[in-house]
Amino acid sequence: MTLATLRESIQAESTIPPTSQHLYHNGRLISDDAQTMEQHQIKDGDMLALHVRDMRGSTGVPEQARRPQPRRRGANEQDPELIRLQILGQPAVRAQLQRQHPELAAAVDNPARFAQIFHDSQDREQRERMERQREIERLNDDPFNVENQRKIEEMIRQERVMENLQNAMEHNPEVFGRVHMLYLDVAVNGHNVKALVDSGAQATIMSPACAEECGIMRLVDTRFAGVARGVGTANIIGRVHSAQIKIGNLFLPCSFTVMEGKSVDLLLGLDMLKRYQATIDLAKDKLIIQGEEVPFLGEAEIPKEEEAAIVQEPTLPGPDGTTIGQRSGAVLPPGEQQQQQQQQRQPAAAPPQPAPVAAPPTASAAPPAAAPAQPAAPRIQISPQAIESLVSMGATREQAIQALQAADGNADVAASLIFF
């Protein structure tokens, strides 16, 4: 740190201009602003003396009246200049601040701007705490009101949740990164497919469109049709008992369950992985099968359907203007979600449409046939006791209702869907 930087730091803290600052080290005046502290032979722990001299000359106006008073800090308030110097000396902390508070990180080289943003943030947090405290005091005026006590309990719970979120973002920021799925380049019946490796799926699943493209739809045994139940339901068209799949340099026989309602073309399930004793090596980022090491696809090579799902993911407001994905838990900087949504809304250039051919005149136009009304799906009766039991375990009311509907009202199955 140079002497000029030190003078700016003193100005940010005390509003004393650099021209009025006379710094002394061991009784020696320090004047070369371009040299660093080491070049001035100033070591850690040494004491510097500051002599303030009014360069404008003395007037009848007192010194304190001419110079604005510095902002007074409370007993527990942190020194922004000390924090700024710590950030400048630790690149890892600066990178973390860039992710969590981009506006504050951009002003780290400007002491006055950094102090202003820091104080504004602290003042805003202080106002929010005071508002919450006043609300709690107002609700405590009627301590026997059950509804007021519930509101107080919810406010305290939300405060603990935000505190837990802040601690996680500070000490474990990696948990908010987006994790992409594991995809492989494979070939089924000579047709190239990007396959999702899912050790949590019981069977290897293929979509009907992919089965048509691979030319194996004619081999589907419809006697194995049915309904797959999990978080939701999906129709099973049938099963292809054996078809050739190429993984790396290996040609292996594999069975496929053709199922509707899946967004991926091909999903390698546990039946395939256990049959050939495959190993998912995350350290090497490879799938090891029959001694063959097949690398997983990079982020830029995965199917675009996953990116579209990320853009459409619901989010929650996070600290300092960030947003957090409800499903992935990924943290987006301020404004990035709006940019992604705008890019998603931009319509692609549509191909030119051929001119419509005029239909021959007819004697009378038949009225359009009314579409047959679809029968409404029967609603599952959910007991309030089951909802309350899941809420008491830590789930939200919406999560409890959705899980109970997927589990046909079974509270134990719904709890396993939420928490496991």
Residue 303 DSSP class: -
Report helix angle 80-89 to 3-14, nearest 10: 150
Contact (CB, 8 A) for 24 and 4: no
Rounded CA gap, 367 and 75, in Å? 81
User: Looking at the annotation, which residues are catalytic?
Assistant: 198
Give the count of beta carbons closer than 10 Å to the beta carbon of residue 236: 18
Query: In sequence order, which residues have a C-beta less than 8 Å from that of residue 198 and are 6 or more positions away?
Result: 181, 182, 267, 268, 269
What one-letter code names the amino acid at 258?
A: V
Helix (H) or strand (E) holding 330: none
CB 283 within 8 A of CB 224: no
- Own/partner contacts of 390-395, CB < 8 Å, gap of 24 or more, are 390/414, 390/415, 390/418, 393/418, 393/419, 394/419, 395/419
Q: Return the closest-CA partner of residue 37 out of 1, 12, 13.
A: 1
Q: In this structure, are residues 40 and 30 in contact, taking their beta carbons and an 8 Å threshold?
A: yes
How many other C-beta atoms lie within 10 A of the C-beta of residue 237?
19
Pairing mode, if any, of strands 21-25 and 331-332?
unpaired
CA distance 121 to 103: 11
Rounded distance between C-alpha atoms, residue 372 and residue 363, angstroms: 27
The dihedral through the CA atoms of 414, 417, 419, 420 has a sign that is positive
CB 299: neighbour CB atoms within 10 A?
10
Q: Which of 141, 394, 161 is nearest to 149 (CA)?
A: 141
